[in-house]
């Protein structure tokens, strides 16, 4: 029988492990703060400077410049869309083969997940730098960069989504004598579809954001327009571009939201 | 050849990777058209036995022959061909919840249509007509185009039976088909299984918890205890002493009538 003494020992053990965890967290934070030179004082001082910069240089936006960026905006949209489709097409087989419950062989699952993790480890920017060197400045490099880097996200999301489905439903199909392909189509897909749609559309969303960053290395679209304006100190025009990116994200979120409700 | 037993199990054993010996040396012959109930405590190996028959669980040793074909030695392709003749009915129905009822019934045809067409859910018109007909016979005519998720437990189980019928199954394996159902639905499902067995001459092996249902609906009762066959007799000769011993006194005492 457990006694009060046992209870105290048990409580003390918990307290000790908590102490260890908090010590580690605080030490890590201290080290990270020191390492990055993060100081509350410099941070607060910086805020003042930032606000001054925003108020005097970025505002008000030069809205009349908007029409000249419409083409770039459309470019960004198309790049993001093509990039998403490319990621989806490449990620689907990787997801199916990566998921433990649908893979053909355990080793293939490791290989598949490894590939996806490897791609995820490299930031889009790296892909974009290589691809700009390969294809030259322009939307193509950005599109392919987003397409490849999307595999890192979607490949994992798909595999996880497939692993989360109810295998009893799949067993029903298998017991009826379905082939591997039929089991995928009739047992796995109907359950996986909502996850598939949600994550694929989320990637489209992310692509538009990322397109802005990829502009830094000349990968076309609004991002390239943005960096050009900043380099020539046209901050108010740059603000316009930022606003356009923002509006586009809202627009895509709105449309994909409707789409999702329709399909699911 | 018609005198061949539908199902022959010889020396079947199953040991799980964690060391659990679920079945030891099971021998069983089921003639065509018979309805066999397998009873026993949870963990006695009923589910494992059923799943070894269509190799959803891989047996450790022994042999299973269904309709004259060796299941245990079948290649993947042969196994699929054998499975399409074995309908399985599950405790948790194992239907695809997001698909309509009629499609779930049509899944019984997967073994008969091309891999790609099956994967895309494209079935011949004749199959669709038959599925609707079968559903109608089982009292699900009104539900055919609803999602399975929207059905009651009893209705779902009838869809499970419809799927087995669409397979033109020669053998139906039912793994605790009524364990998740209310008594009224349980009665309906057992009647349906019985009707199907009699009308279509389908051999049926059904795992049950409820001894009463076994006695009422089965031709024969096989009692499993700790992975071995403890008793195997016609349903009408199953007496209380055997049941008591099979469940080793764990059958709840009859509730007292005095109040």
pLDDT digits (tens, 9 = 90+) for A202-250: 898 888 888 777 777 776 778 888 888 888 877 888 888 888 888 888 8
Q: pLDDT value at position B126?
A: 93
Evaluate whether A187 touches A162 at the Cβ level (below 8 Å).
no
Q: pLDDT value at position B3?
A: 67
In terms of C-beta density within 10 A (0-12 exposed, 13-18 middle, 19 or more buried), how is residue B161 classed?
Answer: buried
Query: What value does the mean pLDDT of chain A take?
Result: 86
**B78 found inside a domain:** yes
Q: Whole-angstrom Cα distance, residue B3 to residue B10? A: 18
Over range A20-28, report the average pLDDT. Answer: 94
B119 closest CB neighbour out of A177, A185, A193: A185
Evaluate whether B173 touches B205 at the Cβ level (below 8 Å).
yes
A172 closest CB neighbour out of B90, B111, B119: B90
Partner B contacted by A37 (CB < 8 A): no
Chain A residues within 8 A of B97 when measuring between CB atoms:
166, 169, 190-191
Distance from the Cα of B76 to chain A's closest Cα (Å) equals 9
Higher-pLDDT residue of B255 and A10 is: A10
**B125 found inside a domain:** no
pLDDT in tens, A137-151: 778 888 888 899 999
CB contact under 8 A, A171 and B80: no
Q: pLDDT value at position A234?
A: 79
Q: pLDDT value at position A89?
A: 96
Domain ranges for chain A, please list them.
4-56, 69-263
Share of chain A above pLDDT 90, in %: 35
Residue B223 has pLDDT above 90, yes or no: yes
Higher-pLDDT residue of B82 and B259 is: B82
Over range A73-99, report the average pLDDT. Answer: 91
Q: pLDDT value at position A141?
A: 83
Q: How confident is the model at residue A184 (pLDDT cuts 50, 70, 90)?
A: very high
Strand partners, A240: none
Superfamily of domain A69-263: MetI-like (1.10.3720.10)
A178 closest CB neighbour out of B97, B110, B160: B110
Q: Using alpha carbons, select from A199, A230, A198 the residue that is nearest to residue A212.
A: A230
Q: pLDDT value at position B250?
A: 54
Residue A194 has pLDDT above 60, yes or no: yes
Higher-pLDDT residue of A261 and A160 is: A160
Q: Whole-angstrom Cα distance, residue A107 to residue B134? A: 43
Distance from the Cα of B170 to chain A's closest Cα (Å) equals 12
pLDDT in tens, A50-62: 777 776 777 777 7
Higher-pLDDT residue of A256 and A117 is: A117
pLDDT in tens, B117-166: 999 999 999 999 999 999 999 999 999 999 999 999 999 999 999 999 99
**B205 found inside a domain:** no
The CATH number of residue B33's host domain is 3.40.50.300
Residue A93 has pLDDT above 90, yes or no: yes
Higher-pLDDT residue of A10 and B231 is: B231
Over range B44-66, report the average pLDDT. Answer: 94
Q: ipTM exceeding 0.85?
A: no
Q: Whole-angstrom Cα distance, residue A80 to residue A129? A: 17
Q: Whole-angstrom Cα distance, residue B71 to residue B80? A: 10
Share of chain B above pLDDT 90, in %: 78
Total domain count, chain B: 1
**B17 found inside a domain:** yes
CB contact under 8 A, B56 and A175: yes
CB contact under 8 A, A186 and B110: yes
Cα–chain center distance at B104:
17
**B180 found inside a domain:** no
Q: How confident is the model at residue B256 (pLDDT cuts 50, 70, 90)?
A: low
Residue B255 has pLDDT above 60, yes or no: no
Q: pLDDT value at position A256?
A: 83
Q: pLDDT value at position B254?
A: 53
pLDDT in tens, B224-249: 999 999 999 998 888 888 888 888 75
Domain limits for position B63: 1-84+212-254
pLDDT in tens, B173-200: 999 999 989 989 999 999 999 999 999 9
């Amino acid at each position: 029988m457990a006694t009060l003494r046992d209870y105290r020992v048990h409580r003390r053990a918990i307290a000790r492990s908590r102490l260890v965890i908090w010590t580690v967290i605080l030490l890590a934070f201290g080290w990270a703060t020191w390492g990055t030179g993060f100081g509350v004082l410099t941070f607060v001082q910086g805020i003042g400077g930032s606000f001054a910069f925003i108020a005097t240089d970025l505002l008000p936006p030069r809205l009349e410049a908007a029409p000249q960026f419409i083409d770039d905006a459309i470019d960004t949209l198309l790049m993001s869309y093509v990039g998403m489709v490319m990621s989806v097409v490449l990620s689907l087989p990787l997801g199916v083969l990566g998921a433990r419950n649908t893979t053909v062989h355990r080793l293939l699952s490791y290989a598949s997940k490894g590939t996806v993790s490897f791609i995820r480890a490299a930031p889009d920017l790296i892909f974009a730098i290589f691809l700009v060197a390969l294809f030259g400045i322009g939307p193509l490099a950005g599109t392919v960069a987003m397409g490849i880097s999307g595999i890192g996200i979607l490949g994992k999301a798909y595999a996880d989504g497939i692993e989360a489905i109810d295998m009893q439903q799949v067993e029903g199909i298998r017991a009826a004598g379905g082939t591997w392909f039929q089991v995928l189509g009739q047992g796995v897909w109907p359950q996986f579809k909502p996850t598939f749609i949600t994550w694929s559309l989320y990637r489209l969303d992310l692509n538009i954001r990322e397109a802005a960053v990829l502009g830094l290395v000349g990968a076309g679209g609004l991002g390239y327009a943005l960096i050009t304006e900043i380099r020539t100190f046209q901050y108010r025009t740059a603000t316009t571009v930022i606003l356009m990116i923002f509006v586009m994200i809202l627009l895509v979120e709105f449309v994909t939201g409707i789409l999702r409700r329709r399909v699911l | 050849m018609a005198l061949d037993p539908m199902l022959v199990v010889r020396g079947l054993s199953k040991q799980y990777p964690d060391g659990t010996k679920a079945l030891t040396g099971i021998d069983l012959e089921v003639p065509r058209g018979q309805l066999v109930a397998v009873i026993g405590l949870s963990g006695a190996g009923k589910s494992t036995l059923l799943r070894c028959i269509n190799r959803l669980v891989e047996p450790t040793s022994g042999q299973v022959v269904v309709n004259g074909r060796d299941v245990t030695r079948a290649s993947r392709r042969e196994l699929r061909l054998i499975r399409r003749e074995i309908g399985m009915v599950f405790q948790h129905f194992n239907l695809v919840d997001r698909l309509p009822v009629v499609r779930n019934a049509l899944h019984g045809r997967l073994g008969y249509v091309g891999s790609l067409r099956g994967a895309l859910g494209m079935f011949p018109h004749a199959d669709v007509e038959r599925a609707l007909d079968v559903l109608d016979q089982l009292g699900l005519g009104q539900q055919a185009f609803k999602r399975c998720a929207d059905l009651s437990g009893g209705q779902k189980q009838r869809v499970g039976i419809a799927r087995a019928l669409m397979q033109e199954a020669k053998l139906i394996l039912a793994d605790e088909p009524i364990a998740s159902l209310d008594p009224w639905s349980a009665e309906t499902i057992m009647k349906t299984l019985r009707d199907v067995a009699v009308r279509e001459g389908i051999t049926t092996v059904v795992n049950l918890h409820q001894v009463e249902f076994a006695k009422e609906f089965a031709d024969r009762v096989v009692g499993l205890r700790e992975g071995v066959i403890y008793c195997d007799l016609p349903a009408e000769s199953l007496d209380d002493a055997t049941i008591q011993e099979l469940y080793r006194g764990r059958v709840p005492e009859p509730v007292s009538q005095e109040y």
